[in-house]
Structure 1
Amino acid sequence: MRTFANLIDDPLVEGRFASWLKMRIDLIAPKNLDIISGRATAKSSDILAERSIRISEDMARAYFAWVADTYENAIGNVRDALIEGWNRKGWVEGVHYVLDERPPAHFEKPYKSPKDFQHTMSIYNGCFFKIVSLAQPSSAAGNSYQHLFGDEVKYFDDKKIAKLFPAIRGEYTNFGDSVYYRGHSFTTDMPNPMHKEYDWIMQQEENMDVEQIKLILNLSHLINEDKKKLFKAYKNRDDLAVKRIQKRIVKYTIAWRRARKDSTYFAIGSSLANLQILTLGYFEDSLKTLGIEEFKTSILSLKPTIPQGAMFYAYLGPHHFFDDGLREDFLSNYTLKEEFNPLAKHIKKPYYDKKQPVSAGMDFGDMISMVTGQENKNYIYALRNFFTLPPESTAQIAAKFVDFYDGHEKRILNLYYDRSGNQYEQVNRDWATDVKTSIEEYSSKIGQKWKVNLMSKNQATIYQDEEYYFMTKWLNEGIAGIPTLRIYRKFNKELKSSLEITKVITKKDQKGKTKIHKNKTSEKLAMHLRPMYSTNFSDAFKYWIMRRDWRSTASSRISTSTTFIDTEII
């Protein structure tokens, strides 16, 4: 199949770029779409945007669900990708769609009246999109939907999405003639179970009838060729040819629609599908940034093969993260037209308590990393991470911290950091003191004075093998006397990535004994890549957790005989 064509210099022809994957999806137009494709393949802004337009036009007045693992991710995905795609394809807000409001009187009405318009998109022909969060099942309660849409489904818990499928039902008499009725449209990049992602979409390949897809493509090709002939006949004013070709197109189109009934198209495509747009430099930079293993999964869409034992934080699992962090009243009052900027005061209990102190771990250097959170009974919650890159420094990260914790009542910050943070204390120029001063001065200026306690003065060095054994024991079985970890996934993307990409290496010490180390080569990446793809945040996390008293508690309970896969000997 050709993936390009010379554009005709004619006002009747609109030229659009499409990758081979996008063209194939448009030609097949299946009931169920399950696509795994690499980064930068415009899954939401192109594939799902155009498909949602086509489905809306095919099922006027229908109900659709736009599904995400959390409201936060759904809101960001819809506002930043889907709406952008709609606009790029000619839709205009207020003309073709409205967000979070009752639609204008001239819009068609949905087949049933919506109860409210919070977190919704209404289309000019009566179609109604409801944003559904898998973290809050009540968001889908009471409705039936004629089609489901979702991007980044590798974050969808298979058990939760399975409970939503029965909601695809209803109104067969109105919509049963549509190929898309009771179907779904799901996209994602390659799931990596070792990064605690869900790979249930891989099972959808079993539902694809390859011969059916071949038939659909053949019919699409015939229709497409006849449309080109029809255009030529129009240009030549050949009325007989126009009528003859139009009849043939109608015949083929009827056969095409019949062939697509109950069809499923599953495909895996790499970022190379968009090579003409991305250029070779994108792939060269991505390889340097991600490393070969992550490059293979995220860019080339190859199934992951990294052994679990190669991970430094091997026992970090889905149970260490939570998604339902924001208060219901905050979400219900938020609209898609607003900037989405939640603060600590919008986080629900027990994750956040404004009447308790805040603790943080920091890693200093040209990139400054900060992990903040609170302890509450048997748990320690990582609430939000912050970072600065040059030319920003301590003043800027102080402002980010204070602004996020706006309205906090017990304004005490217990700060843990590398002992080198006090290395210039004698001349009052050390990193830790700079952060303390910046936070206290900035907070005083805005009338919310914070007190910062420097908790790591004179602390002993935390060696990497000690960290490895501590984290292996703590994340796997827990350690009595040390709270259990929970990380708010939405506000700690950089921390999550850093913990998941950090690998084990081993080195020989002076006595020839093999010692465990953290592979820190990623800290030599280009500066703008370090927040997501370096080990910097894992070090801030280490200082936050491995505080003096907890190290003492753990020392008598940890065996250094913990096994690991020796992936690299240096």
Structure 2
Amino acid sequence: MKNHQNNVELRYGTFLDQMVAFIAPKDLNIIAGRGTRKTTGIVADRSQEVVYDMPRSVLGFAADTFVNAKDKVLPKLVEGWREYLGWREGVHYVLEDRPPSHFDIPYTPIMTYKNTISIFNGCIFKLGSLDQPSGLAGDSIQHLFGDEVKYFDKKVLDIISPALRGHPQVRHSPFYRGTTFTTDLPNISKKNHDWILDNRDLMDMEKIKAAFQAGSILNEINHKIKRAYDLRNTGMLKKYIKQRERWMVKWYKARKDTTFFMMVSSLVNLDILDNGYVMSQLDKLGWEEFKQSVLTFKSKLEEGERFYVGLGEHHYYDDGIVNEIERQTGFQEKITCKSLRYWDPHAPLDIGVDFGKMISMVVAQEQGKYYRCLKNHYTLIPESSAELGKKFREYWSPHINRTVYMYYDRSGNQYESSGRDWASEVRKHIEYDENGKSTGWNVVLMSREQGNIRQSQEHFFIKQVLQETTKGLPILLIDRYQCRELKSSLELSKIVIGVESRTGIKYIKKDKSSESLPVNKLPLQSTNMSDAFKYLMYRKKWTKLVKYEREYLPTGLDGVVG
């Protein structure tokens, strides 16, 4: 909006926004609840400040996966620049293209503009990810940005950190070799990474107070300069400009080598979100998820409550991407299975599918004694089987063996309430494109005569797979980054105790309450994808190897009844 004199733009900023602007530390660590505009606000604002303070520098922007960097992080950053900060594409920045001749050039020669953002003053952002850390690790960057760092493995991030170096021309800046990390609160029960919490111990409060005080005084001086300019008072204008020069030096010195950590709830933005938003989130999320996502309260899932007992770090692999192939893929290009390191193009594919508001698909291959989950796909309503089939066809288009074995919930053969044959629909949309043309894929439905899989059976069987104690069962491997939703779903699944109404006998169930969350929260916060995994794994040739025994219920769960 504009003020009454129509000569200055005013923007709303929370006290968090103001603190970050006044302190402007070298290293910024923010944990904030939903609705606090972390990317479009804090990161977009700070990235502009870094750009103006270190012209012609090379800046890194990392996400957990390259797909998320391109599809989620980058659009939000650009939205913040465009909608709130006045930057225009083609004028202030250019996406992955050689910049116009009037743009300044970086100190470091740029060999390719794939996956970059060029800025008018010669700065350039290089997009990278932790699933292929060598992309940024081999560069020389002057500041690193990371969004949703609860998904960042600290060991992998440490591979990138040595890239923070270079160019004495910008060493004057307090942002030089700094970092900007934002996220909502890491949830240990979902195996989020919580190393950002350790960074609060790096904060020197006396230095932060000094930087804040200098920044506040500098802000007041800027207001005085503005008033003197409006009143055309040349004497006062010169006086305040000299004051600003002195305090700018003090502010820069105070900010050198500072680390600022802050954790806030969504209530920091209550003036914009209003009480209705908060109450609606409570109704939608339930108390436990509301505490975590809105109020920023920690939660923890104890080991005995886990449904997938035995699931550990050794079941995940980090090197599933061929970096050279994925780096050659631009923002607007589709990534395909060609970038998968462990994909066998000559072997058939297995897919496990679960139906509902979220249709979940896990794609895997048998590779000797290993069973490797290579990729997961999903759709959310109003998207359905047609969109899921298209996602599969596009991603797996280079695959040579066109046979797919599909495992699914037996109700997928016929959803009685809707009269839809979901399984045949998915098969149709893989075998034929949207124009009815054959794609060459042959989908074999593997669950036609399958009986109902009790959750207690699933729990016992998958435990044998994960604990690797039964001869003949495969060794499970899951791509940490390409199966991000599967990983989260498996790790958040909890046990509840069911009671037979007729006999009173207690038995193990999977807590499915998360499947009632708002649709956009289902991919990472529900058990949906774990059900697709269940259908994928629970097949006769493996289940017959398991000798089922009576299981003792986990202690401490007697009062947890589903």
TM > 0.5: yes
Report how far residue 397 of structure 1 moved. 4.3
Q: Which whole-Å CA distance do the structure 1 matches of 2:420 and 2:265 have between them?
A: 49
Report how far residue 272 of structure 1 moved. 2.0
SS in 2 for 1:284: helix
Matches within 5 A, 1:106-505: 106-172=102-168, 174-322=169-317, 324-336=319-331, 338-339=332-333, 341-344=334-337, 346-350=338-342, 352-365=343-356, 368-387=359-378, 394=385, 397-422=388-413, 431-433=422-424, 435-436=426-427, 439-440=430-431, 445-477=436-468, 479-505=470-496
More moved, 376-385 vs 50-59: 376-385
- Compared with structure 1, are the counterparts of its residues 409 and 162 closer, same or farther at alpha carbon in structure 2 (3 Å cutoff)? closer
2:543 maps to: 551
Q: Which whole-Å CA distance do the structure 2 matches of 1:228 and 1:216 have between them?
A: 18
Given that 1:478 and 1:484 are in contact with CA atoms closer than 8 Å, whether structure 2 keeps it comes out as no
SS in 1 for 2:127: strand
Given that 1:412 and 1:453 are in contact with CA atoms closer than 8 Å, whether structure 2 keeps it comes out as yes
Give per-residue Cα distances to partners, 1:97-122, cap 9 Å, x unaligned. Answer: 22333333322232232343332222
Matches within 5 A, 1:19-38: 19-38=14-33
Report how far residue 266 of structure 1 moved. 0.8
Q: Which whole-Å CA distance do the structure 2 matches of 1:45 and 1:528 have between them?
A: 19
Report how far residue 268 of structure 1 moved. 0.7
- Compared with structure 1, are the counterparts of its residues 392 and 62 closer, same or farther at alpha carbon in structure 2 (3 Å cutoff)? closer
Q: Which whole-Å CA distance do the structure 1 matches of 2:487 and 2:363 have between them?
A: 13
Are 1:104 and 2:100 counterparts? yes
Q: Which whole-Å CA distance do the structure 2 matches of 1:137 and 1:366 have between them?
A: 34
Q: Structure 2 length as normaliser, TM-score?
A: 0.88
Q: Which whole-Å CA distance do the structure 1 matches of 2:497 and 2:396 have between them?
A: 40
Equivalent in 493, 508, 532 of residue 540 of structure 1: 532
Report how far residue 400 of structure 1 moved. 4.5
Given that 2:204 and 2:258 are in contact with CA atoms closer than 8 Å, whether structure 1 keeps it comes out as yes
1:517 maps to: 509
Report how far residue 141 of structure 1 moved. 4.8
Are 1:40 and 2:40 counterparts? no
Q: Which whole-Å CA distance do the structure 2 matches of 1:429 and 1:81 have between them?
A: 37
Q: Which whole-Å CA distance do the structure 1 matches of 2:3 and 2:308 have between them?
A: 56
Report how far residue 365 of structure 1 moved. 4.9
- Compared with structure 1, are the counterparts of its residues 301 and 132 closer, same or farther at alpha carbon in structure 2 (3 Å cutoff)? same
SS in 1 for 2:546: helix
- Compared with structure 1, are the counterparts of its residues 97 and 53 closer, same or farther at alpha carbon in structure 2 (3 Å cutoff)? same
SS in 2 for 1:555: coil
SS in 2 for 1:448: coil
Q: How many pairs align?
A: 557
SS in 1 for 2:240: helix
Give per-residue Cα distances to partners, 1:545-567, cap 9 Å, x unaligned. Answer: 111221111226x6724746416
Report how far residue 25 of structure 1 moved. 0.4
Given that 1:443 and 1:449 are in contact with CA atoms closer than 8 Å, whether structure 2 keeps it comes out as no
2:45 maps to: 50
Report how far residue 449 of structure 1 moved. 3.5
More moved, 90-99 vs 526-535: 526-535
Report how far residue 421 of structure 1 moved. 4.0
Give per-residue Cα distances to partners, 1:439-488, cap 9 Å, x unaligned. Answer: 55659942323333332233333211121222233224464322233334
Report how far residue 208 of structure 1 moved. 0.7
- Compared with structure 1, are the counterparts of its residues 30 and 443 closer, same or farther at alpha carbon in structure 2 (3 Å cutoff)? closer
SS in 1 for 2:112: coil
- Compared with structure 1, are the counterparts of its residues 227 and 387 closer, same or farther at alpha carbon in structure 2 (3 Å cutoff)? closer
1:66 maps to: 61
- Compared with structure 1, are the counterparts of its residues 283 and 538 closer, same or farther at alpha carbon in structure 2 (3 Å cutoff)? farther
Given that 1:289 and 1:533 are in contact with CA atoms closer than 8 Å, whether structure 2 keeps it comes out as no
Identity of aligned residues (%): 42
- Compared with structure 1, are the counterparts of its residues 477 and 229 closer, same or farther at alpha carbon in structure 2 (3 Å cutoff)? same
Give per-residue Cα distances to partners, 1:115-154, cap 9 Å, x unaligned. Answer: 4333222222222322333333432354322222211222
Give per-residue Cα distances to partners, 1:155-197, cap 9 Å, x unaligned. Answer: 222122223323322333x222211122211112212232222
Given that 1:525 and 1:534 are in contact with CA atoms closer than 8 Å, whether structure 2 keeps it comes out as yes
Q: Which whole-Å CA distance do the structure 1 matches of 2:536 and 2:316 have between them?
A: 17
Instruction: Give the gaps of 5 or more residues in structure 2.
Output: none
Q: Which whole-Å CA distance do the structure 2 matches of 1:312 and 1:436 have between them?
A: 30
Instruction: Give the gaps of 5 or more residues in structure 1.
Output: 1-5
Report how far residue 504 of structure 1 moved. 1.2
Report how far residue 35 of structure 1 moved. 1.2
Q: Which whole-Å CA distance do the structure 2 matches of 1:533 and 1:140 have between them?
A: 30
Given that 2:285 and 2:518 are in contact with CA atoms closer than 8 Å, whether structure 1 keeps it comes out as no
Report how far residue 205 of structure 1 moved. 0.8
- Compared with structure 1, are the counterparts of its residues 438 and 268 closer, same or farther at alpha carbon in structure 2 (3 Å cutoff)? closer
SS in 2 for 1:103: coil
Given that 2:134 and 2:323 are in contact with CA atoms closer than 8 Å, whether structure 1 keeps it comes out as no
Q: Which whole-Å CA distance do the structure 1 matches of 2:10 and 2:63 have between them?
A: 33
